[in-house]
Amino acid sequence: MVPDWPVTTGHSESDDRPVTSTPLSPSPRTTVNRGRNRAVTDRAELHALLEDALVAHVGVVMGGHPVVLPSAYAVDPAGPDRDGTLYVHGSVAAGWLRGATDTTVCVTVTQLDGLVAGRSAFHHSMNYRSAVVIGQARLVEDAEEKARALGLIVDHMIPGRSATLRAHTRKELAATAVLAVPLHEASLKARDGGPGDEPEDVAAGVWGGHVPLRLVAGDPVPDADAEGGVPADVAGRARALADG
């Protein structure tokens, strides 16, 4: 356990609730053992990755074997769980979601930032930021927290979108389950730059370097029966992704 927890780091962007955080890798099961030079201990960098990425993968044991599934997600740094809350959602009929409730799950989020071309096969790599969050998944039953979490998931895709939409119906809320995972037990690794080639391979004159990668959005495509122009929130999101 980290002795100086909690550490006040500021406030969430959405309201005035205080944000507290523990340095990353606070437990043995989130401690980076291999490639420690790529471990990141600043929790603000974890928040930055979770803000940038769009898809999380949730790992849960079902029927005696592991299942890993992609999911939209959102993060509330000032959420009710220790060091903030990561939310995922799905149908109440989804077996993986039922199986994950009140059990330990592993959530991973990765952003691919580049392809690394080494001067040997051994030194080819990828530039990335990758987070691992381990914790007990909690079924969100409080109506206010559930509505907030669903709004955050929508806004993570398209910031500001949830405020423009009608309220959830009772049927929609009954059909949707939200899981909350504490952000306390988390680790982050990152790599950037070029290859770490051997001196003799560099001297041999083989080209080495890296290819930067980023997610780029195209122009919004209206649905066949859409009315009016593209709304500001959608257009703004597309511009932000297009600009990188």
Q: What integer is the mean pLDDT of 140-164? A: 96
Residue ranges of domains in the chain, CATH in brackets = 7-197+206-213 (2.30.110.10)
The DSSP H or E segment spanning 111 is strand 104-117
Say yes or no to pLDDT of 151 above 70. Answer: yes
DSSP, collapsed to helix, strand or coil, labels residue 206 as: coil
Whose CA is closest to 82, among 124, 26, 31? 26
**Which of helix, strand or coil describes residue 239?**
helix
Average pLDDT score over residue span 115-140: 96
3-state secondary structure of 182: strand
Evaluated on CA atoms 40, 42, 48, 50, the torsion sign reads positive
> What's the mean per-residue pLDDT of the chain?
88
Q: Which pLDDT belongs to residue 32?
A: 73
Q: What is the pLDDT of residue 172?
A: 94
**Mapping DSSP to helix (H, G, I), strand (E, B) and coil, where does residue 224 land?**
coil
Q: Return the percent helix, strand and coil in the chain, to nearest 5.
A: 25, 35, 40
- The amino acid sitting at 100 is A
Predicted confidence (pLDDT) at residue 243 exceeds the cutoff of 90: no
Say how far apart CA 210 and CA 193 lie, in whole Å.
7
* pTM for the whole structure: 0.85
pLDDT of residue 97: 82
Q: Report d(CA 111, CA 128) in Å as an integer.
A: 6
Alpha-helical regions (H) of 88-168:
95-100, 143-157
* Mean pLDDT of all residues in 81-110: 92
Amino acid at 158: I
pLDDT one-digit tens code per residue, 10-39: 334 445 555 556 778 767 776 776 667 778
Choice among 16-20, 117-121, 170-174 with the minimum mean pLDDT: 16-20
